Structure 1
Amino acid sequence: MNSKSMGSSGYFVICLLHSVIALTCGALMMFYPNEISVFGHGSETATKLLGSTPHDQLLIQTSDSFAGLLLCVIGVLLFMVSFVIDREFQSFFAKGCVLIHVSTAVWRFYFERKLEDLAHDWLRMIVGDILLAISWIFFLIYSWREKYD
């Protein structure tokens, strides 16, 4: 088997880790949205984020459930992609994940920090996005080292 088609075990581990994170967060968002909101933002902010009218509350709950469902789908896709053993695909996928996480951090910096109710959370969330991106960057560095050794 040539080295081009041999995958990296680090890729498998990182994909599984990100898959578990996405599935867990998604399931919690779908089934325990109020508790997760309180855990993530504090009880005062969580109360503000619930909405003031029944219609607003229904829209927000539907939106949170849909976001949780999308996270679950992402988790399943990450699980499926973790079994791809082509090194070039792994590198391409990792670069795309870095781009997504950095883009999310930039979006949080420019837009989410301007929202009064979420202004105190933006820095913590950006750190989380950057840490997720760094895990893929470490994989890329490891795979480049493996490739050129």
Structure 2
Amino acid sequence: MSPSSSSSLGLFTSICLLQSVVAVTCGALMMFYLDEIAAFGHGWETAGKLRGSTPHDQLLIQTSDSFAGLLLLAVGFLLFMVAFVRDHGFQIFFAKGCILLHAAMALWRVYFERRLEDLAHDWPRQLVGDLVLSLSWVFFLVYSWREKYD
């Protein structure tokens, strides 16, 4: 392995580990502290509206949010495992896939979340988060291409 590819490996590992910590933390908080996180992110009034109005709705929403948290937890563990893959071709492929995933989330926020009255004021902040996470992978690709052509 050349010295330049080892620095690219270090960058890939760092990005994966950082995003893994974010995903695991958010997933665990969604599963166990959903009310507090919703109040922190949206405010108490909006968080109350997001809980649902009937006990049946509340149970469905709580179950759905718990599964979303579990999915984030799984994504975090997947990112942790992928962080140690040394195949440069796979790293490039994975980074491109992550960029597409974050772009899809950004489009979802722009086209659907902004139309929801209770979430309309939160989507720009979440959109910025999606773009920052995507830019970390773009930075990795640019860094990898720079190493390849230098």
- Which bin holds the TM-score, normalised by the shorter protein? over 0.9
CA distance in structure 1 between the partners assigned to 2:33 and 2:15 by the alignment: 26
1:40 CA drift (Å): 1.1
Question: Per-residue CA shift, 1:56-103, capped at 9, x if unaligned?
Answer: 110011011000000000000000000101111101100100010011
How big is the shift at 1:8? 1.6
8 Å CA contact 1:29–1:68 kept in 2: the answer is yes
Q: CA RMSD in A?
A: 1.6
**Paired residue for 1:50?**
51
Q: Distance in 1 between matches of 2:108 and 2:32?
A: 27
Aligned-pair identity in percent equals: 69
The letter for the 1-side match of 2:86 is: I
What amino acid sits opposite 2:48 in the alignment? T
Q: Work out the CA distance in 1 between the residues paired with 2:102 and 2:21.
A: 17
3-state DSSP class of the match of 1:8? helix
CA–CA separation in structure 2 for the residues paired with 1:85 and 1:146: 16
Q: Which residue of 2 aligns with 1:109?
A: 110
Greater fraction helix: 2
Q: Which runs of 5+ in 1 are unaligned?
A: none
User: For the Cα contact (< 8 Å) 1:8–1:143, is it kept in 2?
Assistant: no
Indicate the residue corresponding to 1:10 in structure 2: 11
Query: What is the Cα deviation at residue 2 of structure 1?
Result: 6.4
Taking the aligned partners of 1:85 and 1:72, their CA distance within structure 2 comes to: 23
CA distance in structure 2 between the partners assigned to 1:37 and 1:66 by the alignment: 16
Distance (Å, rounded) in 2 between the aligned partners of 1:2 and 1:33: 46
- Which residue in 1 is equivalent to 2:131? 130
Using structure 2 for the length normalisation, give the TM-score. 0.95
Distance 2:14 2:147 in 1: 16
**Unmatched 5+ stretches in structure 2:** none
TM-score by length of 1: 0.96
For residues 11-60 of structure 1, give each alpha carbon's deviation from its aligned partner in whole angstroms, at most 9, with x where no partner exists.
00000000000000000000000001011111110010010011111001
CA distance in 2, matches of 1:42, 1:146: 46
- Equivalent residue for 1:121? 122
Alpha-carbon deviations, 1:82-138, whole Å to 9, x = none?
010111110110010001001100111000000011000011110100000001000
